[in-house]
Amino acid sequence: MKQHLPVLNVEVPDKAEHVASTPNPASRELLQRLEALGVETLFDRFEQQKPQCTFGLTGRCCRMCQWGPCRIGPRAERGICGKDQNAMVIGNVMRALVAGLSAHGRHAHEAMFSVLAAADGKAHLAIKGEARVLELAGRFGVPAEGRPIADVAREVTRILLEDLGRLDASPLRTLEAFAPPERQETWRGLGILPRSASYEVMEALHMTTLGGCTDWTALAAQELRAALAYCYSTLFGSSFATEMLFGLPQQRITTVNYGILKADHVNVLMHGHSPVMVEVILEKLRSPEIQQLASAAGAAGIVVGGLCCSGEELLARHGVSTVTNIGGQELVLGTGAVDAVVVDMQCVIPGAKILADCFGTQIITTCKSNRIPGALHVPFDPEEPEQLQADAERVARAAVEAFARRDRSKIHIPQVTTAAQVGWSYENILDTLGGAERIVELLRSGTLKGIATIVGCNTPKVPYEHNHVTLARELIRSDVLLLTTGCCAHALLNDGLCGPDAAGQAGPGLGRLCRQLGIPPVLAVGGCVDNTRTLRLFAEVSRAAGVAVKDLPFMFIGPEPGNEKTVGQGLTFLVHGVSNLVGFPGPIPPAIPRPKPGEPGELERGSNDVIDFLAGTEGVLKLVGAKIYTEPEPRLGAQLVRMHLRRKRLALGWAGQHSMGQ
């Protein structure tokens, strides 16, 4: 059943619309196959949850104490404690933000302690990213000359760890080292410089507990402060620690999509976010012993495929084929071809285990925080890493052994594969494009109308992957260079937009540039924490242009927002002055006019302070130079992006005679 939500001015799709509109024929084939088999997925469970509660959808339901739940609406203007709508709505959004911050924070913690383990010579982990270690040493003022790289890496990582957990008022060092000076001044003026990731989570929860802060403007300030901690501790920290450990991505061509699975091979999927144990398992799966084990079991070889951000980490550094995202994780199990899924942390939905049980797939959990009943649990702890090599081998063996055991009668692999050009780091994007000055020139001349980051999750509230792909196709046609990560990247990779032949789909300026340089119009820059790469690119282009980030034709696009982690992604770019386009309304009462109760024909403004703050002209736009646009229809969304970029170009005098392609 489609659900019309007048309160949000949207309609959410039913399953038939998901099937009809999803751009990947492989996903459609599997949705239909699972339906025929009577196997439920998230798209069926979404139907069972309808109609969804409009109080929750608009953020007007408070569950922060046990007096509630309280709802704000026509019957009550305040919760039982007296909390008003503004405090409730912003408090809910902030709690989602800090939950996402905590998820990336745990990811960062694991990556950082893994660098320390490597520096201490433990578990045969090596420090392969010397260049990143030295860059960080330079930025932090850590002496490096003549010292062993392990010592420098240890000292740098200790600073990243302090940023994750500092409790006193000293500055967040990564922010000081990497944020544009103009931004640091702005944030200092607003009083939103953070201490550390952990402190800002504590403060956010403290402020929103029963009888805490009820001044919504103070909560809004804490939200921006927490977004800065999210950015400069958990995102930068995870991405940098991983690069120190495993090195930078290298460009290469590979193949992605569901068709990479092979019926006569052992098929192993890597799913989650933290790449440390995953990298070691990959080594084991490629070792002669495990390959031998696979052939002894009757397999023609081993296929490794990637899901979600762990998949994208392996794609970026090793060219390992990716298959799908959070929304497709059940579908890929429905191929009946997957022998094992190795999962670490986050975005592994419980439905995956249900599907795994239907098709006899072995799930192996490797994060000590996350257990799944019935799964094989082989946890990795970077603070006690001695067993890492043996455990990784155990996982690889278990995956191969699953092949021999499995019922292979239900195998159905959609024969869809897509070429992808991958392995984009901050450094090689800059080099390939000819440096920051050259990028400024491309923007100024109108060859590129803008640069946007298009990222984030899936949500059943918009047709699966339709918004990602439609927005991306529209924008490259208008000469907007795109960088992508996360679940969006999977959709765009599978659609071929990150492939070597995608230049033909781009507009005249971007298309010509892509052909000249041999690059696709959409660059897949890694997992969600690697949005740091895009942010660094924006900052570097801003430096070269001598123009603040907030005044440049940049945009953040989250077409299918789903996870709590995505709130911080948008706000990260927002605080830097990059406006957001969001593809489904957040849990905030929208600013749409509505009939006045008891006065037919009259409209009331239907607005509230929080939406005015985020999306109006007086709030964040004045404070940080950016705002949030919301539009669920992707073609209209693309128009909003074009309009926004054009305004920036006009203000800079860069609009010239070039008009935006439609």
Residues 6+ apart with CB under 8 A from 49: none
Shortest Å, Cβ 560 to ligand NFS = 9
The C-alpha angle 154, 181, 577, rounded to 5 degrees, equals 105
Q: Does 566 bind ligand NFS (CB under 6 A)?
A: yes
563 binds ligand NFS (CB under 6 A): yes
Among 90, 269, 309, 491, binds ligand NFS (CB under 6 A): 309
Residue 457 engages ligand NFS in binding (rule: CB under 6 A): yes
Among residues 85 and 572, whose Cβ is nearest to ligand NFS? Answer: 572
Minimum distance between the CB of residue 98 and ligand NFS, rounded to whole angstroms? Answer: 15
Question: Shortest approach of ligand NFS to residue 486 CB, angstroms?
Answer: 3
List of residues 6+ apart from 73 with CB closer than 8 A:
55, 60
3 state SS of 367: strand
Least distance between ligand NFS and beta carbon 272 (Å): 8
Residue 562 interacting with ligand NFS (CB under 6 A): yes
Q: How far is the CB of 95 from ligand NFS (least distance, A)?
A: 16
Query: Contact letters (x/-) for ligand NFS, 166-195, by CB under 6 A?
Result: ------------------------------
Contact 226, 97 (CB under 8 A): yes
Among 321, 325, 361, 484, binds ligand NFS (CB under 6 A): 325
Query: What is the C-alpha separation between 12 and 32, in angstroms, rounded?
Result: 20
Region 215-274 residues binding ligand NFS, contact defined as CB under 6 A: 273
Least separation, in Å, of the C-beta of 105 and ligand NFS? Answer: 13
Least distance CB 532 / ligand NFS (angstroms): 13
- Positions 335 through 354 that interact with ligand NFS (CB under 6 A): 347
Q: Which of 248, 260, 326, 352 binds ligand NFS (CB under 6 A)?
A: 326
Name which of 326 and 555 has its Cβ closer to ligand NFS.
Answer: 326
Cα–Cα dist 81/148, whole Å: 58
- For residue 14, give every residue at least 6 positions away whose Cβ sits within 8 Å of its Cβ, in sequence order, or none: 1, 2, 47
Give the whole-angstrom CA distance, residue 453 versus residue 451.
7
Query: Which range, of 217-225, 560-568, 622-630, 637-645, touches ligand NFS by CB under 6 A?
Result: 560-568
Q: Between 565-575 and 531-545, two packed helices, what is the crossing angle to 10 degrees?
A: 10
Centre a 10 Å sphere on the Cβ of residue 351 and count the other Cβ atoms it contains.
Answer: 16
3-state secondary structure of 376: strand
With contacts defined by CB under 6 A, name the span among 140-148, 175-183, 402-410, 563-571 that binds ligand NFS. Answer: 563-571
Binding ligand NFS (rule: CB under 6 A), the pick from 477, 565, 646, 649 is 565
Structure tokens at 596: 């006045």
Stretch that binds ligand NFS, among 154-162, 179-187, 559-567, 599-607 (CB under 6 A): 559-567
Neighbouring C-beta atoms of residue 277, cutoff 10 Å: 27
Between 85 and 494, CB nearer to ligand NFS: 494
Nearest to 287 by CA among 389, 403, 406: 389
Q: How far, CA to CA in Å, does 524 sit from each of 251, 478, 561, 627?
A: 11, 19, 18, 25
| 484: contact with ligand NFS by CB under 6 A | no
Of 496-555, which residues contact ligand NFS (CB under 6 A)?
A: 527-528
- Unique residue bearing structure tokens 């109108």: 446
- Residues 606-625 as b/e (b if ≥16 CB within 10 A, e otherwise) read bbbbbbebbbbeebbbebbb
Q: Which residues bind ligand NFS (CB under 6 A)?
A: 273, 308-309, 325-326, 347, 456-457, 486-487, 527-528, 562-563, 565-566
